[in-house]
Amino acid sequence: MKLAFSTLGVPGLPLADVLRLASAHGYHGVELRAHPEEPVHPGLGGAERAAAAAEFKAAGIEVVGVAGYPRVCAPGPDEAVVAEIRALLDLARDLGAGFVRVFPGAEDAQSTEDADATAARRLGTAAEYAADVGVRILLETHDSHRTGAAAIRVLGLVGHRHVGSLWDVMHTWLGGEQPSESYAALSPYLGYVQVKDIASAADTTPLPLGAGVLPLSECVEVLSRHGWDGWLCWEYEKRWYESAAPLPDLLGAGHDHLARLLNESA
């Protein structure tokens, strides 16, 4: 498995500094948060995209994925959501990334059936464009569909190889799934895995890897046991928690912790 981290942990940091941190601490990839307050986002022009791709290539670091914010279950016109996904796919293609992230985002007033059908319809429409540009759309285990069991209700309806799953280990744990259950559900669709750590279900402030309660060892063990060989991406949610320790100070120890888990499960 290869190790990466998300720029959500270093909000607004210039790309050159992100790449310097990745290289210095042994990470081979970076997940880019695609938001206008970040250096890389769908509003960039062609020259800026080419320059960003060149920076990654020069540093020998891969763009794992482009983490966007479309809510594929949410009420409203399909066209706006599909257009948002297409813009992310274009950005991922231009940067050489293999994946884009989308959220479920169903609202309380929606029935489960309506939310699932809405998401499947939009993802199925966007899947054809994803195939054309060679990028996979990943539905993250998050918010209204935080478990693997919930995510596959949508993915099973889509049935397209360019639509898959992004396993956020915190959300499946909060949803009551064991890692073996999450993997069993998501494995046919799995793009990559987001790891993190927190103090408790009531306190999701990000902690250094291994300092909290999330079953990271069990997650890595089940992935290794089944021969899965993708990305483990540390999503440290500093953007939402000002009191959290700065990620750059933790990256070295985080890499070492994940490496130990990989060695133990080999």
Residue type, 55: E
Residue type, 73: C
Contact criterion met (CB below 8 Å) for 186 and 168: no
The predicted-structure confidence for 229-261, as pLDDT tens digits, reads as follows 999 999 999 999 999 999 999 999 999 999 999
Residue type, 88: L
pLDDT number for residue 210: 97
- Provide mean pLDDT across the span 164-181: 98
CATH superfamily label, 2-265: Divalent-metal-dependent TIM barrel enzymes (3.20.20.150)
Residue closest to 163 by CA, chosen among 193, 194, 184, 138: 138
Task: Give, in order, the Cα–Cα distances in Å from 190 to each of 77, 155, 213.
Answer: 28, 11, 23
- Residue 153: CA count within 13 A, CB half-sphere: 17
* Residue 68, helix vs strand vs coil: strand
Can you read off the two tokens belonging to residue 182? 């999450």
State yes or no: pLDDT of 266 exceeds 90: no
pLDDT number for residue 250: 98
pTM: 0.97
- Provide mean pLDDT across the span 45-60: 98
The predicted-structure confidence for 67-86, as pLDDT tens digits, reads as follows 999 999 999 999 999 999 99
- Look-up: residue for tokens 């999450």? 182
- What Rg, from alpha-carbon coordinates, does the chain have? 17
Please count the other Cβ atoms lying within 10 Å of the Cβ belonging to residue 170: 23
Q: How far apart are CA 158 and CA 156, in angstroms?
A: 5
List beta partners, residue 66.
Answer: 32, 100
State yes or no: pLDDT of 222 exceeds 80: yes
State yes or no: pLDDT of 126 exceeds 80: yes
Please count the other Cβ atoms lying within 10 Å of the Cβ belonging to residue 242: 7
Contact criterion met (CB below 8 Å) for 75 and 40: no
